[in-house]
Amino acid sequence: MDTISIKPVPLSGEINVPSSKSMGHREIICAALAEGTSVVDNISISADIEATCRALQALGVKITPAPSLYPGRAAFKIEGGELQALSNEIDCGESGSTLRFMIPLAALCSKQVVFKGSGKLVSRPLNAYYDIFDRQGIEYETADEGKLPLKICGRLSAGRFELPGNVSSQFVSGLLFALPLLDDDSVITISSPLESKSYVALTLSCLAKYGIEIKNDEYKAFYIRGGQKYHSRNSIVEADYSQAAFWLVAGAIGNKIDCKGLLANSLQGDKAIIDIISAMGGKINYNEEKMIITSSPANTIGTIIDASDCPDIIPVLSVLASVSEGRTEIINAGRLRLKECDRLRAVTTELNKLGADVTELEEGLVIQGKKYLTGGEVEGWNDHRIAMSLAIASLKCRDRVVMHGAECVNKSYPQFWHDFVALGGQISYMEKD
């Protein structure tokens, strides 16, 4: 375990925002399901992306490195087509996206496949799929309480699927990837308002890019024609608003930061970071021609933040709220308890160690802002977004922040500490625990 000491100094400068992990998963999967060869470029390598590649290779997809047009990024040549289980074991690491996207795809192979994972992923809920398996007679076996490892044996059938709207959107996306490949038509109905619908929008946009047609009835029902084929193509993964969020908050509470490469018309739900920072009094400017979003220091104020469609940016927004004038209430955030850690508990615990005033509620947080935090010793909770958020919190601390478990950023943003230092951050590594 890496322990680092962070000296409180403002960040400033220019950053090339990593490519979207959410879109990286989706682009690689669609390319893998396409007949022929595709090249997916501008990939920011992370443990989660590696897990998806590993899973697809276990299902017979050939993925090899290719020259990238983007410095510091990766490209993959992907030779896809009909899936076949070359290995009966798929290790998803700690990637919830990999696990939930791959289960329906593995169920196309009619062979026994065992899904394994580590960390919090072992216990993250999969009941939505278990219910489908029970209805369709697909054999499956789990560890106690539905935990991994999960063994499945049987073929997914077309038909009608009903999911509650408060289930993870990853279940909806997983089915949307698989169902077009079945011979017959299918319908997915959502029995209550769909949360995190922006992630489903990303899936639909990627499917359309690769030639798959889905009829979307206002996110209440999805009509999927069977017998479709994915079309191979070359594609570029767009930049990630969820990763940009850390630097945009850093600009609001430190010095000016330019974030490069973000699309103005992106469907990413975490694009809400722009509107939320602006609503809190932040200074955000977008140069569409140069694709640069600039965040400048401002006296920010509290507000009400609805987390239902942008859960991943709530930890860093909690940091901004902690150093903004007045009261901030974060609502509809219960699903944060089911991420890599219980993020509501983690945010409350760790920010309060730094002198913040955060109150944990069942479905959200109440934060009373302060001008400065104190500093102190914190834990990363083996959660990349918690660790990166605490790093940004250090900018407004009077004393150093000592963080245990700093290496957990590797899950989504291995270059985070490098970029933190490039923007003027001062860190020193202490001992290996």
Q: What whole-number distance in Å separates Cα of residue 191 and Cα of residue 159?
A: 16
129-137, long-range: CB < 8 A, 24+ apart? 129/100, 129/103, 129/104, 129/171, 129/174, 132/156, 132/161
How many Cα atoms are found within 13 Å in the side-chain-facing hemisphere of 134? 6
Strands 283-287 and 292-296: antiparallel
Q: What whole-number distance in Å separates Cα of residue 391 and Cα of residue 423?
A: 13
Which value, to the nearest 10 degrees, does the dihedral of the CA atoms of residues 83, 88, 91, 96 take?
60
Q: Residue 207 corresponds to which tokens in the numbers above?
A: 């499917």
Q: Are 401 and 353 in contact (CB under 8 A)?
A: no
Q: Is 312 a catalytic residue?
A: yes
Among 41, 270, 312, 383, which one carries the catalytic annotation?
A: 312
- DSSP per residue over 265-277, as a string? T---GGGHHHHHH
Q: What whole-number distance in Å separates Cα of residue 148 and Cα of residue 102?
A: 14
List the catalytic residues.
312
